[in-house]
Structure 1
Amino acid sequence: MSEDLLRLYGTGEREPESRTLAVGDLSVELQDGNLRTLRFRGHEVLRVIAFLVRDKDWGTCSATIADLAVAETGLGFTVTYNARFTAPSGANLDCAIAISGTAKTVTFSAHCVSDADFETARAGFVVLHPVVGVAGEPVEVRHGDGSTERSHWPKEIDPWQPFKDIVAITHQVAPGIAAMTAFGGDIFEMEDQRNWTDGSYKTYVRPLALPWPYRVAKNEPFSQTVAVEIRAEDDAARAADASDTITLQVVPTGFRFPEIGVGLRSECLAQELAALETLKTIGARHLIGHFDPGAGHGLAALKGYAEIAEKSGLRMTLELAVPCKRPLQEEMAGFAALVQEAGLTFDTLFVCPSVDRQSTPPGSSWPECPPLEEVYAAARAAFPGVRLGGGMMSYFTELNRKRVPADRIDYVSHCTNPIVHAADDLSVMQTFEALRHVVSSTRAIYGDKPYRIGPSTIAMRQNPYGSATKDNSAGRRIPMANVDPRHNGQFGAAWTLAYAATVVPAGLEMLTLSTLAGPYGLVAGEGEATVQGDLRPLVHVLARLGILAGEAVHAVETSRPDALLGLASKERLLLANITAKPQVAALSQPPRRVSLIGAESVDLPSKEQIVVPPYGSVEIVL
C-alpha cells in the first residue's frame, strides 16, 4: 500500500484511470466506460454522460466491461464495449455500448437485454449539466409533443422536477457557445441534484412518478441514445487557463463563526468516553446525542449521554427520532420520564418524526405522520424551557420537499451527504458548488431563523432512499456507504475545511462535521487504516475552526473555487486545496506565518505566493 495514498485517502485503492479523447476544440474524459467533463474550448459543456444501473435500493450496480475498443483519428474518435450489470438477485443486464465524437458532436448509445427478470430502480442514461455559470440562466427544452419551452435553470433549488418529458435541452455554455443535448429511447425528465449537494442538474430516464423498483423483463431488448451538438461562433473565446495562479479576495460576511458541534452515537459510548480529551482539542462547544427508539435506543443510551455531558462540561442537544406510534402527548411524556431517570440535562431538543427521515420522491404518497405543529407542541409541553429545533435528520432534499413551520421552532437544521449518487474524488469535492446553493436556498425559505447543519460527514449515516446504507467493509469509494476511507485521510480534512468555508455566508449558529467516535468520528477505530485511538487528520482542521468560534468571520472568494476554498478572521486565513494537484495562491503581502495543518504543523515559506499541496489544508497568520 502506497504511503502517499494512505495519507491522502485513508486507503491504498486507486481511482479508475481515465483517458482523454480530443478532436479539435472538443475534449472529454473516458472513465469506467462513461464520459466525464465534456469541454469545448476549455468551457465545461456537460459534467457526465453515463449509462447507469441502480439496484432496488438505488445502490449502483457496477459494470463489468469487456471487448473495449478505442480508436482516434484527426476527424474524431469511437469507443465500443460490452457492459454487464449484475443485480443482487444474480440477473444480468448485458449492454452493447457505442460512443463517437467529432469536433462538435458526441453520441452515446446503449442496446441492452437481460438474461432474467432484472429488478432495478433505474436503468438507463443520466446526463449531468453543470451548475456554475448555468444556475438561473436561460434554457430551451423540447418536449415529446414537439413543443418548445423557453425557461430558466432553477436558481433556488427546485424541490421537484423543473422539466419533464424532455427530448432535447439547449443551453448557453459561454458567450458565443451553445450546446443541444438530445435524448432518445425512453421518457426523460430532470431533477435539481443540488438537493443532494451534487453539483449538477440531472436529466435521467424513466419518470419518478412511475412505480419503482420495476423489472426489466427477460429477453426484452431496449435501446437509448444521447447526442450532443455544439454550436459555436468562430470568435468565441477559450476558457481561462486553469494553471494560472489563484487570486484571493476577503469579503466580510457580517456573521460570527458558528460553534463546533460533535455528534454522539449510542453504539460508540465506550469509545466516546475514552476520547473526551479530543473535545477539548477541537474546541467543541456542543454535543448532539442521537436517540432513536425505533433502533432500540433506551435508558442506557441516555445515561451514556448524561455521563459524557457531565464529564465534558459541554452543552447537549438531544436529537430525537419521534416514532409517532402512540398519542404524541403520551410518547413525549414517556421520553421526558426516561430523560429524567437517566439524569440527562440538555438545553436543546431537536425532534423529527421517524418517517420523515425517508425520502418521499415526486409522485409518491406522503407517509402517515401527525402534523408537525402537533409534534412540536407535544415536545414543548413535555420539555418546557428547552430550545426546540425542527427540520430533518436526513438531508436538505427532505427539508426542501417538506417545509417545516418555522414559527413553531427556535431553529432549523438539516444534514448533507456528498456520496448519495457518486463517490469518486472529483464528484465529492464538486459538492461544494451545490452546498453554497443549499445554504442560500435554506435562507431564502427560512429567512434569519437560527440555522444549524449536521452531523454531516462523507460516509452516509442513514439512507433515506433505500432500506439501508451500503456496507463498505472493504473501504472502497462507493455511493451510500456506511464507511468511507477518506474520512481517515488528508482528503477528509480538506473536505471538512472546505465545507466550513462554503457555509460561512449562511451565518450558522452551529456546525457539526463529525461524531466523537465510530466511522464518522474524530478518533480512528479498531481495524481502520490508522492506528486505533489515533486522531484523524480532520481533528487538526476542526481545532483551527474551534479557535474561530464566536469571532467575526469573512468569506474568501478565489479565482478558482473548483480548486481552493477558504475562510478568514481578522488574523487568520484558512485554505483547503480540494484537488489532487498542487495549487498556487497569491497573497496581497507576505504573511507572518504559513503552516500545513496536520498532526505536527509544518511551516511553509512565508511568501506572497504559497503552494498548497494536493488535498492540503493551510493556516496563514496574517
Structure 2
Amino acid sequence: MTDDEVWERPTGEPEDETVVAGPWRLTLRATELADISHRGVPLLRAVRFVTRDHDWRTADDTLIRRTVEVDEDVPTAHVRIEAASGYDGTEVLRYVLDVSIDATTVLVDAVGTTTSAFRRNRIGLVVLHPPTLAGLPFTVRHPFTGPTRHAFPTWIAPHQPATDVDGYEWTVDGIDVDVSLGGDVFEMEDQRNWTDASYKTYSTPLSQPFPVALDAGTEVHQSVALQAGPSGTTGSGGTASPVTDLASLDGPASTAVVGPPPTLQLLAGTAPAAARPGDAALLRGVPVLVEPVLEDPDAAAVLASARRDAGGAPLDVRFVTDDPHLLRAAVDAVLRSGPVVRIGACHPATHVTTVELQRALRDAARSHGGLEVVAGTRAHFTELNRTIDLFGDWDGPLTFSVTPQMHDRSRAQVTESLRMQRWVVSSASRLAAGRPLHVGPVTLRPRFNAVATTPPRVVADATVAGGHGPEFVPDATDPAQHSAAAGDWFAASVVALTVPGVVSITLAEAWGPRGVVSSDGTHSPAARVVERSISA
C-alpha cells in the first residue's frame, strides 16, 4: 500500500514536491528532505530537523514557508524551509533549513532558535539511512581518532552500531557516498527496533546527560553534507553492494505459516465509562488483554472492566508490578474470578519481566497446572532486544508490543512500518529460539511512554469511571483510529506479524477512541479484521 492510497493527508499539510538537479532527486515532504537519490540510486531515506523534549516526545512541526529555486542550465538548486516546532499547541522553537544542491553535493545547513524555555533531550538534524543497506560495509570518521570499519546491521541491532561520529563513507550500486556532519557529535541507532524504516544518525550522544534546560533564544546550528559520485571518485571506504537476499523491505522471514494462524485478541478499553458503548455492540468470543498496575488502587476495577469487555471470553492478564509476592497473590485471585488464557508480568519502571517476576510466574504455573505464563516486555521490541540475556533460563513464551509512531507521526512513517514489522517479528523469532511469541498490543499510537523521565501519574481513584492507563497518555489516541485506512493498516499488520512461532496478536482496544468499536456502538473497519478471525 502507498501513503496516498490508504492514509489521508493531514489538514494543512502541503503536497509533496519533487526536486531534480542534475544527478540528484529528492522529495520535499512537509518539513523534511525525503528519498534522496543520486543517478537513480537511493542514498538516504530522509534528512530532517527534530526536537524531542524531556520525555522524548517528538515535537509537532508546522511548515511556515518553503521556497525552491532550480537552475536547469548549471544544474543547481536551492531550497529553503522555515518551520516551527511545538507541543500541545505551544511553540518552543523555530528553525530554517537552507539546502544547496550542485553536481556532487547536497548541503543542508540548519539553524534552530528556541522561542520559549523548555527542557530538551535532543535538538537537531537527523539522517535516516534506508533499511535496504542491511549488510553493507561502511567507514565511520571520528572527531579525535582514526576511522573505523562497520556494517549496517542485518539483524536488528540492540545498541548503537556507530558512536562518536562526524562522518561516514560507503559505496552502494557503483556510487561512492560521503556524509559529513557538523555542529555536534553524532551516533547511529537501528530504528527498526521501533518498526521505523531506517537506521538513524542523530546528534547529542545518549552518553551525555539529559534532559537539558534551555532558555528562549538558544540557538542550534548543524549541517549535513552529502556527497556522491561514480565509484572511485569520492574516496569512499566501502566497496560492496547490499546483500541482495536481505535487501527486501518485506523482511527475511518466510511468509509460510506452520500450524494454526495466531489467535487475535483485543486490548481492554481504557476510556472513561461514559464513552463505553452498550455491551451488545462489543465483539464477543475474543480474548481480552488487560494490564492492571497492582500497586494502584484501581487494579481490581481495571480487571472487572476487562471482564465486562471480554463477555465470557478469557482474559490475558499482564500485571504491572515490581513485587513478586504481590504478583503471586494477584495470580491466585484473578484465576478465581473467571477464565484466564495466560498470565504475565512486567516491572513498572523497566517494562520487562525481571528474573524475580519470572520466578513468581513459574511458581504460579506449577501451583495451577496447565496455566500458561508469558514473559518479555510490555514495551517495544527494543526492550526485548536489549534485555534478552535476562531470559536465558525462561523456557516459556515471550512477548513485546508494536506501535509505529514512537518517533514520527507522518503518513509515510505509519505505512512504512508495516514492512518493518516483518523484520521485527523475524528478529524476535530468532531471539526466541523456538519459544512461542505473543505479539502486542499493536496500536497506532503508544499506549504509554516507555522512556519518560518524569514520574508516572499518581492514581488515586479506585474506580475506572474516568478511564485509566492510555486515557491519560498525551497523544495516545490517533484521530484516524476508526478510518478505513486504519482498518487496512491493522489487517496488513496481522499479515506482517504472522510468522511461524507467533501464537497470538493483540490489536487495538475493545471500544472507545482507541478501539475497534466506537462509543456510539459503530464497528470500525478494524473490527472487521477481528470479526473475520472469529468466523474463520
TM-score, length basis structure 1:
0.72
Kept after mapping to 1: 8 A contact 2:271/2:513: no
C-alpha spacing 1:127/1:506, structure 2 compared with 1 (3 Å): farther
Per the alignment, residue 463 of structure 2 pairs with none
Partner in structure 2 of residue 299 of structure 1 = 300
User: Using a 3 Å threshold, how does the CA distance of structure 1 residues 217 and 89 change in structure 2: closer, same or farther?
Assistant: farther
Aligned residues of 2:344 and 2:374 also touching (Cα < 8 A)? yes
Matches within 5 A, 1:592-603: none
Percentage identity across paired residues of the two chains: 25
Tell me the CA shift for residue 135 of structure 1.
1.1
User: Any idea what SS the aligned residue of 1:539 has?
Assistant: helix
d(CA) in 2 for partners of 1:226 and 1:516? 45
**Which residue of structure 2 aligns with residue 98 of structure 1?**
98
Distance 2:106 2:490 in 1: 37
Cα deviation, 1:358-396, whole Å, max 9, x if unaligned, reads 9xxxxxxxxx97644444345446755411101111111
Shift of 1:86: 4.9
Query: Structure 1: any 5+ residue segments left out of the alignment?
Result: 238-249, 359-367, 470-478, 526-531, 549-622
Taking the TM superposition and a 5 Å limit, the aligned residue runs for 1:254-333 are: 254-265=258-269, 267=271, 274-275=278-279, 278-280=282-284, 285-309=286-310, 311-312=311-312, 314-324=313-323, 328-329=324-325, 331-333=326-328
Counterpart code for 1:41: R
Q: Deviation of residue 187 (structure 1)?
A: 0.4
Match of 1:197 among 182, 195, 198: 195
Distance 1:88 1:496 in 2: 27
Q: Equivalent of 2:373, from 374, 377, 388? A: 388
Q: Is the CA contact 1:34–1:51 (under 8 Å) kept in the aligned structure 2?
A: yes
Partner of 2:182: 184
Q: Which letter maps to 1:444?
A: R
Looking at structure 2, the residues matched to 344 and 492 of structure 1 have their Cα atoms a distance apart, in angstroms, of 32
Point out where structure 2 has 5 or more consecutive residues left out of the alignment. 233-240, 242-253, 457-472
Q: Report what 2:236 is aligned to.
A: none
Residues 119, 215 of structure 1: 8 Å contact kept: yes
CA–CA distance in structure 2, aligned partners of residues 58 and 300 of structure 1: 31
Aligned to 1:454, what secondary structure does the other structure show?
A: strand
Equivalent residues in 2 for 1:373-452, closer than 5 Å = 373-377=358-362, 379-380=364-365, 385-403=370-388, 404-405=390-391, 407-408=393-394, 410-452=396-438
Alignment equivalent of 1:214, drawn from 204, 212, 216: 212
Q: Is the counterpart of residue 492 in structure 1 residue 486 in structure 2?
A: yes
Alignment root-mean-square deviation, CA: 3.3
Displacement, 1:80? 2.7
Question: How many Å apart are 1:345 and its aligned residue?
Answer: 2.9
Cα 1:10–1:94 change in 2 (3 A) is closer
Q: In structure 1, what is the equivalent of residue 442 of structure 2?
A: 456
CA distance in 2, matches of 1:332, 1:33: 47
1:12 deviates by 7.0
Q: Contact 2:164/2:185 (CA < 8 Å) preserved in 1?
A: yes
Report the CA distance between 1:306 and its aligned residue: 3.9
1:145 aligns with: 144
CA gap 1:269/1:258 in 2 versus in 1, 3 angstroms = farther
Match of 1:474 in 2: none
C-alpha separation between the residues in 2 aligned to 1:376 and 1:215? 42
C-alpha deviation, 1:113, in angstroms:
4.1
Contact 1:305 1:344 in 2 (8 A): no
Question: Structure 1 residues 419 and 184, CA, compared in 2 at 3 Å: closer, same or farther?
Answer: same
Aligned partner of 1:613 in structure 2 is: none
Which one-letter code corresponds to 1:335 in the other structure? A
Offset, 1:463: 1.4
1:109 alignment partner, SS class: strand
Q: How far apart are residue 399 of structure 1 and its match?
A: 1.1
Residue 228 of structure 2 aligns with which residue? Answer: 230
In 2, the alpha carbon distance for the partners of 1:34 and 1:157 equals 25
Change beyond 3 A, Cα 1:88–1:38: same
Give the direction of change, closer, same or farther, for the CA distance of 1:381–1:272 in structure 2 (3 Å limit): farther
In 1: Cα distance, 2:34 partner to 2:483 partner: 25
Structure 2: how far apart are the matches of 1:183 and 1:383? 58
Partner of 1:44: 42
Indicate whether 1:508 and 2:502 are aligned. Answer: yes
- How far the C-alpha of 1:211 sits from its partner, in A, is 1.2
Contact 1:264 1:516 in 2 (8 A): yes
Q: Determine if the alignment matches structure 1 residue 79 to structure 2 residue 64.
A: no
Give the structure 2 partner of residue 588 of structure 1.
none
Whole-angstrom distance in 2 between the partners of 1:215 and 1:412: 39
User: How far did residue 502 of structure 1 move?
Assistant: 1.3
Q: Is the 8 A contact 1:15 1:424 kept in 2?
A: no
1:159-208: per-residue Cα shift (whole Å, max 9, x none)?
A: 111100112122333x2123221111110000110111101000000001
Alpha carbons of 1:463 and 1:150: their partners in 2 closer, same or farther (altered >3 Å)?
same
Task: Find the residue that maps to 2:180 and give its secondary structure.
Answer: strand
1:543 aligns with 2:531: yes
1:357 correspondence with 2:351: yes
How far the C-alpha of 1:112 sits from its partner, in A, is: 3.8
* 1:44-79 per-position Cα deviation (integer Å, ceiling 9, x unaligned): 211110111112222223345556432111111112
Aligned-residue offset at 1:110: 1.6
- In structure 1, how many angstroms separate the alpha carbons of the residues matched to 2:228 and 2:37? 10
- Kept in 1: contact 2:395–2:435 (CA 8 A): no
C-alpha deviation, 1:416, in angstroms: 0.8
Q: After superposition, give the CA deviation of every residue in 1:2-57 in whole Å (9 maximum; x if it has no partner).
A: xxx99965897364322211112311112333211112233321111011111222
Q: Does the Cα contact within 8 Å between 1:259 and 1:546 map onto a contact in 2?
A: no
* Aligned residues between the structures: 494
Maintained 8 Å contact 2:31/2:62: no
Once the two structures are TM-superposed, the CA of residue 151 in structure 1 deviates from its matched residue by 2.0
1:119 matched to 2:119: yes
**Alignment of structure 1 residues 473-484 onto 2, 5 Å:** 481-484=475-478
Matched-pair contact (CA < 8 Å) for 2:101–2:107: yes
Amino acid of the residue matched to residue 178 of structure 1?
Answer: D
CA contact (8 A) 1:395 1:415 kept: yes
What corresponds to 1:517 in structure 2?
A: 511
Secondary structure of 2:502's match? coil
Go from structure 1 to structure 2 and tell me whether the alpha carbon gap of 1:503 and 1:195 turns closer, same or farther (over 3 Å shift).
same
Output the CA distance in 2 between the equivalents of 1:291 and 1:28: 47
CA deviation vs aligned residue, 1:580-620 (integer Å, no higher than 9, x gap): xxxxxxxxxxxxxxxxxxxxxxxxxxxxxxxxxxxxxxxxx
TM-score, length basis structure 2:
0.82
- Cα deviations by residue, 1:210-259 (Å, 9 ceiling, x for unpaired): 1111134565544211011112259xx9xxxxxxxxxxxx9644343111
- Secondary structure of the residue that 2:442 maps to in structure 1? coil
Change (3 A) 1:158 1:535: same
Residue 467 of structure 2 is matched in structure 1 by none
